[in-house]
Structures are given as C-alpha cells and as structure tokens.
Structure 1
C-alpha cells in the first residue's frame, strides 16, 4: 500500500518544477550553507572523500560542483585486457540479461520495449534485438560521471523527451516502462566487436546531462526528439571525429540516475559474478568479447 501511495504522489508532483528548483539552488554559492550541506551529505551517505581528486570540502563552492566531483582514478584500476569490457560507472546493478523478443526485463510482470527505448529507430532495433543489456542505478552516494566500457567511435546521439520520475528502487521495481517514460540521451558507438549503446536516463532532480565532447545536452528540454549524426570513419573531418578510449570519461549527471548499456547478439559474455543488487565500480570486468 505504501508503495502505491508513493507512486501516486510521484504522478501528482510537479517534477519539472522540482528539478529546476533544485538545479538552481545547487548552482548557487551559499558559502557556509553550501559547506554545511556538503558536510551533512557526506555524513548521511557515507561518502569516501579520500577517493576524490580534491577531498577538501571547502574547495567546492556550490553543491553541484561537489556532486559532480572527480575521482582519483588511481582508485579505479582499469582492466586493460583488449578482450574485456569494463564497468562504466559506480553503482548498483538493477537488472541484466538477454533482450528477448525485443523486450528488456524491468521487474516480474514488466518487460519494456527495445524499439521504444531507443526512440523507435528500426535500424538500431534490428541490430540489438536478441542482444544483451545491463541497467545500473547511480544512487546519491555514488560518483556520477560515466566512462567508456571499451574504445569506440561515436556514431549517433539521440535526445528523447519524457517524464522525470525518480529512478530509485521503489519506482524502478513498481512503475512499468519507467525507462521509456523518462527523458533520456542515447549514444551509439562503433567498437571493435560491433555497435554498443549507452543510454543515460533522466530523472527527478537530475538538473542536466553533459558530455565531454558536446557539453550540456539537457537542458534545454523540448518536446521533440533531437538527433546528432557523426561521419563514417572513412569519410570524416578530423575535427568532427569523436573517438573515446576505454576508461575515458564520456559525460556526467548533475544528480544521479541510471545508465543502460546494450550489446548486439553473439558479441559478449557477461562476467558470471554479476547479478541484480551487486555493487560495481568503474574499471571492473563487465563482459568478455566472444
């Protein structure tokens, strides 16, 4: 009953207004108020500041700067085996498995459509049908930057407008089609083993999504799909060519959310230790290339 009431409240809340408000406050320099909020946040969520590039909380003049803090990547050793694909963020595994008959598993009794998830693109849908997926939730205590699971060339980027429901466990395990309902940005990469997709899911209080090559994608928020295409590798200008190495940062959330990674069929084999609820870190083994 409590979960149903919580979900009902989420439907009624002015999610965009709440998101804009927190986004505005998080970017304000509030001096001792900002420092106090950061201190409390660290205590509540037990954040290990020794892992960050700058552990001094007085360094962060806004709450947002603290939230998108960078890690000292020496604390996240990268698996450099050329046949290994690595975890691309810190977080907890929501789900992983096979995309069966064009469906991804969300929770018992709910499967959502690959075709709708990727913006009803027939070509992409054909490539990833019967492939593999992993869904990772970035909680408030996690590092909120996203890195590359393997080296790849950016092929396409798609912004899909949508709602801003929270993506915490209560919502993700009870609101069917959550990841289709919410706004998201899709990144299509060409890799050594074929195409790979990264999907950054927007959510309530997620003020914006940035990439290392384009900057801010969200906001602005517009009620239409937006697509960016990059040239093929055999026909490009070097200034337009975007290549990211394994472990390289690709972007970040201003407040946490979810990252979904997709692989085509017969391309990878998941690390057998991976399961729902497992805490993972950047650089760890995600899968092996077949």
Structure 2
C-alpha cells in the first residue's frame, strides 16, 4: 500500500469531495478554465470527439467533465446479441461470480474478484442478499473511468428500471494502488445500485463513487449523489414505464469513478478479448448473449 493510499483511511472523505464539488461547479472564469486546461494537458483529453470541442465554451469544470460526444464518436457493436460496454475506460477486473460448491474463484456464493487476491460478495455490493442471489454463477465486469474518459454511462442491454438503491459508504480512491490494497473497496464506497429487468432476467449496473469524484446523476431522476447517505435508501420504480434501450445513456458521473455490470448465470459469456487493465470504449462488446 502506498503512503497516499494509507493516508486516505484518515482523510475526511465526504468533506474533501464536497469541496471538490464546489470547485467543479464554480463559474469563476479563471478557476474553471485552469481546471479544464490542466486535465486536458495532463491526461491528453481528445476534444475532437466532443460535441463541443472548444474547452473555453464550458461554463464549469463539471460541464466539461460530463461533456457529450459528437454524433458517431461511439457506436454499438453491430451484433444484436452483443451486450455492450457501458463506458469508456479500462477493465479493472472481469470474470465469473462465484457459485457455492462449484469452485468458481471461491466457494462462497457471490464472490467477485477485486485485485491481488482481494474481493467482495454481490450481497455486500448490492446491500441485498436476496437480490444478489440472482447473480450467483453469472458474470461481472468492473470498468474504471479515468479523468480523460467520456463520463456518461450507457445501457449494456435494453431494460426496464425496477429499483435503485443508494448505499452509503466511504469514498476511497479507486486508483490501481487502492484497488489492490483496500479490502472490499467497491463494497465500501458510496454507490448507486440500479436494478433493471431485461428479456433474459435481472441486470444490475452499479455506479461507484470515489474520493473527490463522488457525484452520480441519472437520466430518470437527476442528481442522486450527493447528498451522501447515512442509511440505505431504496426507490421503487416499478410501474413507471422507465425502459431504456440498449446503448442509450442512463447516468453520468459528476467527476467520474467506476461502473460494475452484473449479469445472471447462463445469460452471457464475457468477450474473450477482455482482461484486467484492457482499454475499453463505450459500445464495444462486453459479452455475447447465449441462446435461450
């Protein structure tokens, strides 16, 4: 564990993220432009892909960070059986979700691999053991979004929103060192769990917050995080008719972080080209739908 990661255990996570949020929404011309220019220069942001390529046209740093792409900058895999990558970034980890008694990763049901032998369970991630059981033996993919990436998250498959769960937690960094050294990191950070009903059954997309990058906004209800939670908050969306098509925008990170996709057993096989640290782009194949 690096000294910086060790220090984050003692830092006031939510206070720092709140201060960073104030900077992100500042309309002060010099402040917002310094932030935008610094990120473009340091991380090599390709502004030619943006719907608005002029960095000075954005009223705030957050407007730049959540910028839309120009039409055609990303396209979905043409195979109608492809379950899609939900975001730009790189794979943190992907694989099978443990199923008790079958020796998949670990013998404990619902185990998801994090890094360097560390992991957590779907019950911990979703804060719901009953909902988690539907994904035992299924597959998962964890996608890390860096500051240079497009920060909107799109639907891997067509689904109808059933429930969202705002799970309170810490706001550890989700950088490589933290992922490799902070136990159960993704199941400890503040997150928004989005449950969808699809033609193959349930699908879960989890928006995980992180230190300084903890804002989550959805297309159906606007800003969800912050406020930061003290208790688990569930919202029932059944009967509202909120159906989002494959590749449609579903949410965005107001400052970025990590998205985790969970699929049930027997539904899909992960694309064999995916591996830890593989760069990925929105719309490419995440998995291939198996015949019913």
Partners of 1:73 and 1:173 in 2: CA distance: 37
Q: What root-mean-square deviation, in Å, do the aligned CA atoms of Structure 1 and Structure 2 show? A: 1.2
Tell me what 1:198 maps to: 205
Correspondence for 2:132 among 115, 125, 128: 125
- State the shift of 1:73 in Å: 3.8
| Partner of residue 104, structure 2 | none
User: How far apart are 1:41 and its partner, in Å?
Assistant: 1.6
CA contact (8 A) 1:95 1:275 kept: yes
Q: Does 1:270 align with 2:270?
A: yes
Secondary structure of residue in 1 paired with 2:51? coil
Q: Which runs of 5+ in 2 are unaligned?
A: 99-108
Cα separation, 1, equivalents of 2:155 and 2:207? 13
SS of 1:89's equivalent in the other structure is coil
Question: Shift of the alpha carbon at 1:225?
Answer: 0.5
Unaligned runs of 5+ in 1: none
2:250 aligned residue: 250
Deviation, structure 1 residue 207: 4.3
TM (normalized to structure 2)? 0.93
Which residue of structure 2 aligns with residue 64 of structure 1? Answer: 62
- In the alignment, the residues of structure 2 paired with residue 109 and residue 43 of structure 1 have an alpha-carbon distance, to the nearest angstrom, of 35
Quote how far apart the aligned CAs of 1:33 are.
3.4
SS in 2 for 1:134: strand
- Which residue of the partner structure matches residue 176 of structure 1? 183
| 1:177-222 per-position Cα deviation (integer Å, ceiling 9, x unaligned) | 0011111110111112111100000111124210001101111122
**1:5 alignment counterpart:** 3
Structure 1 stretches of 4+ moved >6 Å: none
Aligned to 2:237: 230
Q: Tell me if the contact between 2:151 and 2:256 (Cα under 8 Å) persists in the aligned partners.
A: yes
SS of the residue aligned with 1:39?
helix
Q: What CA distance in whole angstroms lies between the structure 2 residues aligned with 1:39 and 1:289?
A: 42
Q: Which of 192, 217, 228 is the matching residue for 1:210?
A: 217
Cα distance in 2 for residues equivalent to 1:250 and 1:27 = 22
Contact 1:22 1:207 (8 Å CA) reproduced:
no
TM-score, normalised to structure 1, is 0.93
Cα pair 2:118 2:180 within 8 Å, conserved: no
- Aligned equivalents of 1:109, 1:85: Cα separation in 2: 27
- Measured against aligned partners, the alpha-carbon deviations of 1:35-76 in whole angstroms (never above 9, x if no partner) come to 233122211110000000000112111111111111114011
- Please point out which of 4, 13, 16 is paired with 1:15: 13
